Chains A and B, each alone.
Chain A
Amino acid sequence: MIEILALLLGLLTFYAAGYSVARSIDSSLARSHAGTLGIALICGPGIVAFASFLLDVAHVPFSPLHSYLVSIAFLALAVLVARRHIARVPSQPSAETELGPLLPKLAWAALFLCVALGALFAMVTPAIKDSLVNWSYKTLVLFQDGSVRTQDLRAEFRHLYHPNYPLLVPIAQVFLFGLAGTAIDQLAKVTFALPHLGVALLAFAEFRARLGAGRALLLAALLATTPHFYRADDLYRFAGSVPSGYADPTFAALSGACAIATIAWLRTRRRGDLTIAALFLGLAVFTKNESLPFAIAWASGIAIAILLQSRSGRPLPDWKTLAAAGAMIAGIAIPWFAVRSTLPERDENYQHSLTLTNLLEGAWRIPLILVQSVQMMFSADFYGFIWPVLLLALIVHVRRILAPEVAFACTTLVAMAVVYAAVFVVTPLPIVDSLVTSIPRTFFQMSPLAVVLLGTLLCEPRTKDS
């Protein structure tokens, strides 16, 4: 019972932390209830984990006291910022007026049912072996030793894989362990389900203005019902799902949310939108190493979108907006990279492996990767029909590809896919094993981006008047 109460307090703290951010940054996404909740659910665990990380760096080790201090601080902050007035968007026609009475209810039910199933399966099934050594066991070590300075991350003879992996997910769980006073490793996995709900709500909040509530809701439901996110049966061992215990759901949600906030910024040019996109990206850097290629893909997408916008007469973004975004990313990334530089680089090191020689040597794998990728795109039991529907939308609306928002989403997605393919080309692991265990995760990570691209493709082209 105490463990359940501790979990609930932890979840409330996550929400309070995310809510404080949503209310503090002047983002157009936070002007609706769905957007505020979405930002809170996505950012909450990350902000709490980052605050705990900074406290640990300042020699306040992980402990129950540490967790309760963080919890009280964020709950108090939420109470303070709740008084801040935020202008809400004017009320818009509901999904019901567009789609009729039944369909919206079904879509909402499916959305919440999937998140509930993900949370339930996370609590009753164990983490799989690979995620155990990379994430869950690291969580236990941090909790028991109380610091990222533990010798288990640094010693020569060690038992942890990838000691320099980002620590958002382990520390968010350590925070919950601290509240409970014990390792509630099963219950803590419920955390992984929340950001995915958040990104679905954020997609709804952003696309509602352009697509109408009906189709925005269908897009959000499509994202939340991605089977790979929540499933837990004989195939649950495939990496990436919430029950399997990986950091992938959190990273997928953060990268998807970053893309959504960027699209909002391209539309509104409001500084808060890019700042919150940068916050999502910074937290993604603290979540998984895949955030580094994502950051490059994201920056490339923005550059192309701005170029297209400037051709149609929109001014270039002001330097203060870009500086605020850069500062936000650096504020999270620099402390993490400073600690990471003290951790040993072991196991697979793809930054160093991506050389021309390795790419040429592994070029024979490309057809294999392509075949497997096509098969993944049509794996209905993993991703539903997100990818086939995206292909269909690209065919039907090919003329919209040069719209700035579409170009941004498309560039980001394609660049991510190319980087992932390159990693499979150079991986030192046997390619068949590597593809079978890792390619589902890469497609899962890109699923929110695919839904974002789909949403932008469905938007009617903007006229100069709008």
Chain B
Amino acid sequence: MPEPTPHVIANHRPGRLEFVVAAVAIALGSFALTLKENVFLAKVVLEDRAKECRAHQDGDPAYVRRMLEQERLRSCDNLSKGLLAFGIGCLAVALYRRRRPLPPFTGVLVGALAVSGLELGHQVELVVRGARSGLFTESDSEHLVRFFDAAVEPAQVIIDHVPADARIVVVNFDDPQVLKKVQYLIFPRRVFMPPKVEMQFDVRQIRKILERMPHGIDWCFAAGYTHLLDLTTLRQTRDPSAIVDLESLRR
């Protein structure tokens, strides 16, 4: 026996919920935009968190502070944009509902979709920019570099992937500004690996790993684990031209 399909609820007041939600979201979004500029409140919270982190682990305070600061900026920026998109989506449906009855909560769902649409637009833009820079026509590992070169600041990509104590990093960028930024920012990062696990690696194992790796992603892996391996061994194993000693970058 099929169940009755609920359609439009005739006696639901048109758009009331959407109007309220839109007003609140737009107000909060606008406030969050100002918060991005005036970060007093957020700073107080983050200082507390950083203090707590320092008290309970041996992390580098500068690392913790920078990480939290970046996190705050990103969250605040995205939240404010999201709230505004959400509010505008709700408002549009609320206005539309005055002409045509819609099921309840439709406006809220459309508003939420508008928020996701923001990110979708950003990702489509990445694809377009990547395609223009030859992302989909290159076959070797350079396509990755070009993708990020086209899409985001390349230094940030390296920083994101390279632990602080990695001594060997594959860096394919010729831009000295990029290398300078890597050199400056990479060191506060730590290896995200329990020490006892690290000790279980030896040269033979790492060589085996590298031999098994398919071409094109070795730098990502090498960045994490080859600090126990001397540079010569790595160069013999993989493409030597793709390997740069981070120590030389320090100098």
Contact = CB atoms under 8 A, between A and B. Distances in A.
Interface of A: 89-90, 92-93, 98-100, 103, 107, 110, 113-114, 117, 120-121, 124-130, 132-133, 137, 140-141, 144, 157-159, 161, 183, 185-186, 208-212, 214-215, 218-219, 221-222, 225-227, 230-235, 237, 346-347, 364-365, 367-368, 371, 375, 378-381, 384-386, 388-389, 392-393, 396, 428-433, 436-437, 458, 460, 466
A218 B106 contact: yes
B110 interface: yes
The 4 lowest CB-CB distance pairs between A and B, nearest first, are A380-B82, A225-B116, A384-B116, A227-B119
B119 A222 contact: no
Contacts of B120: 110, 113-114, 117, 225, 227
A224 to B, nearest CB: 9
Given A124-B136, A378-B75, A466-B3, A129 B194 contact: no
Given A140-B213, A384-B82, A429-B192, 5 more contacts: A124-B136, A234-B157, A371-B45, A380-B81, A432-B67
A403 to B, nearest CB: 14
B151 interface: yes
A232 B123 contact: yes
B84 to A, nearest CB: 10
A389 B151 CA distance: 31
B73 to A, nearest CB: 12
How many residues of B sit at the interface, in one of the four size bands?
35 or more
Nearest to A230: B123
A396 B17 contact: yes
Contacts of B105: 215, 393, 396, 458
A430 B59 contact: yes
Interface string B88-132: 000000001000101111101111110111111011101100100
A233 B152 contact: yes
A132 B7 contact: no
Nearest to B77: A381
B160 A237 contact: yes
Contacts of A458: 104-105
Given A124-B135, A141-B212, A212 B197 contact: no
A293 to B, nearest CB: 23
A389 B17 CA distance: 12
A110 B52 contact: no
B217 interface: yes
Contacts of B106: 99, 214-215, 218
B47 interface: no
Given A120-B127, A129-B220, A385 B82 contact: yes
B126 A232 contact: yes
B21 to A, nearest CB: 7
Contacts of A437: 192
Nearest to B57: A430
Contacts of B208: 159
B116 A226 contact: yes
A159 B3 CA distance: 56
11 contacts: A100-B96, A103-B110, A114-B120, A126-B220, A141-B212, A218-B109, A221-B113, A346-B197, A368-B52, A385-B112, A431-B57
A232 B118 CA distance: 14
A273 B202 CA distance: 51
A157 B110 contact: no
Contact of A129 (B74, B79, B109, B221): B221
